[in-house]
Chains A and B, each alone.
Chain A
Amino acid sequence: AQSVTQLGSHVSVSEGALVLLRCNYSSSVPPYLFWYVQYPNQGLQLLLKYTSAATLVKGINGFEAEFKKSETSFHLTKPSAHMSDAAEYFCAVSGNTDKLIFGTGTRLQVFP
């Protein structure tokens, strides 16, 4: 079975500050891991994904995430936040089923 936990339903940062969104997963098989972003009144779009290649994954808009098996984590980071990064972010895991398991989301606010 698979599960995802996103720590912190709301995260606030100042523009230019580091963004860190936390995701921990559980999977009985080697997982695929995803980060999606949802802007207001839009669908989800893929930011980046891990599918068992390099453990440090780079995505769109300057985001990256590192797969750490020992910590069962896949945290999302961006060195310098921009106002346009304000959105909701979802972590998801794919294991040995026909479904993606999503976390409950983290809303990122960016203050000027």
Chain B
Amino acid sequence: NAGVTQTPKFRVLKTGQSMTLLCAQDMNHEYMYWYRQDPGMGLRLIHYSVGEGTTAKGEVPDGYNVSRLKKQNFLLGLESAAPSQTSVYFCASSYGVVGRVETQYFGPGTRLLVL
């Protein structure tokens, strides 16, 4: 099992460019999450999904969009990148029952630099 994988590992963008980050999991998890990690800020939740075809906003959703067309994939899009979106992005997945999250499994991260 590959667990949670993220593509790409590193990317440099110019301000205003767009890109999509891909997260894939092979554990048949219902729940998937996108976080960003910045120095001194810990992990901040961007968007999440509790099942195929569903998405919900997290703590810092502005400037990002997501889609969950297939259960195993969760895409994070930046329509018009800004320097403030320079960060390390982590995807995670977990089992869960309604209203209760179990262990989250994390991907290796994507480092994004916006110039």
Binding site for B on A (CB under 8 A): 9, 32, 34, 36, 41-46, 49, 51, 90, 92, 94-100, 102-105
Within 8 A of A (CB), among B85-100: 90, 92, 94, 96, 98-100
Q: Which residues of B contact A95 (CB under 8 A)?
A: 100
Residues on the B chain within 8 Å of A9, using CB: 40
Please report B residues at the A interface, Cβ cutoff 8 Å.
4, 31, 33, 40-43, 45, 48, 50, 56, 58, 90, 92, 94, 96, 98-109
For the complex, would chain B's binding face be called helix, strand, loop or mixed by DSSP majority? strand
Measured CA separation A49–B4 after assembly (Å)? 20
Residues of A within 8 A of B58 (CB): 99
In whole Å, how far is B85's beta carbon from the nearest beta carbon of chain A?
Answer: 19
Contact pick for B102, options A41, A94, A103, CB 8 Å: A94
Knowing A42-B108, A43-B90 touch, does A98 contact B45 (C-beta < 8 A)? no
Contact (Cβ within 8 A) B104 A100:
yes
